[in-house]
Amino acid sequence: MTETRPGACAAGTLPLILLTGCALLTGCALLTGCAPRESGPPAPTPPGAAAKESADEFVARVNRELNALAQEAQAAGYTLDTYITTDTQLLNARANDRYLAYLSKAVAEAKRYDGQELSPATRRALMKLRLNVAAPAPDDAAKRARLTQLEAQLEAKYGEGKYCPKGPGSCMNLDQLSEILARSRNYAELTDAWKGWHAVGAGMREEYGEFVRLANEGARELGFKNLGVMWRAGYDMTPEEFDAESERLWQQVKPLYDGLHCYARARLARRYGEDQVPAGKPIPAQLLGNMWAQQWNKIYPDILRPYPTASLETADALLKVQQWDAARMTHSAESFYTSLGFPQLPKTFWERSMLSRPRDREVVCHASAWDMASGGDVRIKACLVPTEEDLYTVYHELGHVYYFISYSSQPFLFRDGANDGFHEAIGDTINLSVTPAYLARIGLIHAVAPSHEALINQQMKMALEKIAFLPFGRLIDEWRWKVFSGEITPANYNSSWWELRRRYQGLAPPVPRSEADFDPGAKYHIPSNTPYTRYFLSYILQFQFHKALCAAAASKAPLYECSNYGSQEAGRRYVDMLRLGASEPWQDALEKLTGTRRIDAAPIIEYFQPLMEWLSEENKNRQCGW
């Protein structure tokens, strides 16, 4: 089981930095379909020649030279994540140091065009240049080297994390501990597994604080107040406008989450006792089937299933019976995209991707998609096993890959999502079409006559993934933005983390926590410095995209039954949006597919309307809230 899916990342990771232009843009680094490196690192441009460049010429040169450096950085990052050693950490840090050194120089050179009249494309490219890394390094060479070293160390500590309750022979990695959280129903065992993994974060605390100081210094040198302000600058609106939009979207979906929380708490109290799960209080975080309680679908079958006798088959059984392996799961995902008119994946994808966990070395199993900046070399890195969850994961990751392919003709700085939420939403939009009818069509479940009870079961199962995730997707960057701004200091890193988790998710830690702990570090996206709001946005955008594609496919089915499999018209509309990459404001890309320039959560409410009505009736006599 991978650490992904919601929050699950998504795209490829260049662990140290997130090159956003050609993108390491999804928390997992996304280098997007860039052109091949020709021969060696870019030669330095003579100072006199650089000074005479027009802004358009400067952008063209930077696109070429960043692409060459990004190819090296992506190769080093992919090698680190698929072969964690001291040597690969060093090579990754050095490659990123070279990239950051060039970036700092290019950003400084770009200042000579301040105040000039520029074409819209050049102005946008210069803006993307400033936002090209998730952690900009200070100009000082020693500080820059220290920043890349810290990034490598933080990600390696996460990837190597283990819990050894009875000494070296008892060690368990994240996959094994996550399996306990998903399968065990023993309160003490769940608590022990949760506590064991979260201890991984404590060793990152000092390094993370130093990382924040250096990254903030780099952001200030780029003209931003702090790193959080810089991250929000990529949304084609002011940070204040973006904060207001995020809050508006959260308020649209909050009533659905509140109903789900009330129902889940009552069912957990029935299982573990009201003394452990009292009404009107936050839910203990270890009981929801996921290490971060970001999805609750693992406890659906035996605890949260509304109608136990109503049939809702998963693909798990037939995946095993039919002996599906990681390659067959990935080919299945590819076939969905090709049914919409996307091309087949290149041969190198199958030769160079890591689809299963190797037995002989440490790797970062967090699923991610990678563009290697080398003439169509696209890959995914995952530890797939034959489960329905991992089937959805690989459909999701190929969304990133096909976005890379779709905008591969754009200049390097525009090889990115319209905004980072777009990149995460592409594959999940496809997953909304992986309906029970589709799974039956490909032979992974049996065809079942629909009933109201089966529909509620189906929607509950999906809501435990899609809706349960939303507050978690909202709070991670709220915590981080406050850390970057100084509102949250190292003295209250952990208490502030749990304050936000209580406020948004209605959760509490299963054991007392203190500032000796660093629970944010137990979540991949914190040590990897991957912005997280993208996932919150993507979980809203995917329903908006799905609604538009269903309209393009002329579907007459309710939104929750629509599958766009095989619709060339839906595929054409999708590609029209995807090929823009980051060349236009995200509002233009959104309008191209949906006809509106505003992100809207109304399609989520439409999709889950049957469940909302059921929850309203089910929770009538319960004490909701926390």
Active-site residues: which are they? 366-367, 396-397, 400, 424, 525, 535
How big is the CA angle at 408 (ends 347 and 125), to the nearest 5 degrees? 150
Q: Which two tokens stand for residue 191?
A: 């608590």
Count CA within 13 A, CB hemisphere, residue 149. Answer: 8
- Lookup: tokens for 161: 């994390």
What span, in angstroms and rounded, lies between the C-alpha atoms of 139 and 147?
11
The pairing of strands 507-508 and 283-284 is parallel
d(C-alpha 384, C-alpha 394), whole Å: 8
* Alpha-carbon span 27 to 7, nearest angstrom: 9
Residue 121's φ and ψ, nearest 5 degrees, are: -65, -40
Task: Give the Cα separation of 259 and 249 in Å (integer).
Answer: 17
* Residue indicated by tokens 């090579």: 91
End-to-end CA distance of the chain: 31
Q: How far is CA 497 from CA 54, 258, 448, 500, 604, in A?
A: 47, 20, 44, 5, 27
b/e code 490-509 from CB counts within 10 Å (16+ = b) = beebbebbbebbbebbbbeb
- Taking the C-alpha atoms of residue 227 and residue 463, their distance in angstroms, rounded to an integer, is 33
Q: Given the structure tokens 């950490």, which residue do they identify?
A: 89
Structure tokens at 138: 């200070």
Rounded Cα gap, residues 426 and 570, in angstroms? 13
- How far is residue 456 from each of residues 307, 561, 582, 583, 603, measured CA to CA in Å? 8, 13, 39, 41, 18
> Cα 603 to the chain's mean position, in Å?
21
- CA of residue 66 relative to chain centroid, distance: 24
Q: Which helix (H) or strand (E) holds 380?
A: strand 378-381
Q: How far apart are CA 38 and CA 620, in angstroms?
A: 66
Residues with Cβ within 8 Å of 21's Cβ and at least 6 positions away in sequence, in order, are 66, 128, 129, 131, 132, 412, 413, 414, 415, 416, 582
Residue keyed to tokens 């368990």: 172
Whole-angstrom CA distances from 433 to 56, 430, 583 are: 42, 5, 28
Distances in whole angstroms, Cα of residue 325 to Cα of each of 199, 239, 312, 355, 603? 33, 45, 23, 9, 35
Q: Under 8 Å CB-to-CB from 620, ≥6 apart: which residues? A: none
Strand partners, 508: 284
Residue 425 tokens, joined: 């939403």
Helix (H/G/I), strand (E/B), else coil: 438: helix
Q: How far apart are CA 430 and CA 542, in angstroms?
A: 8
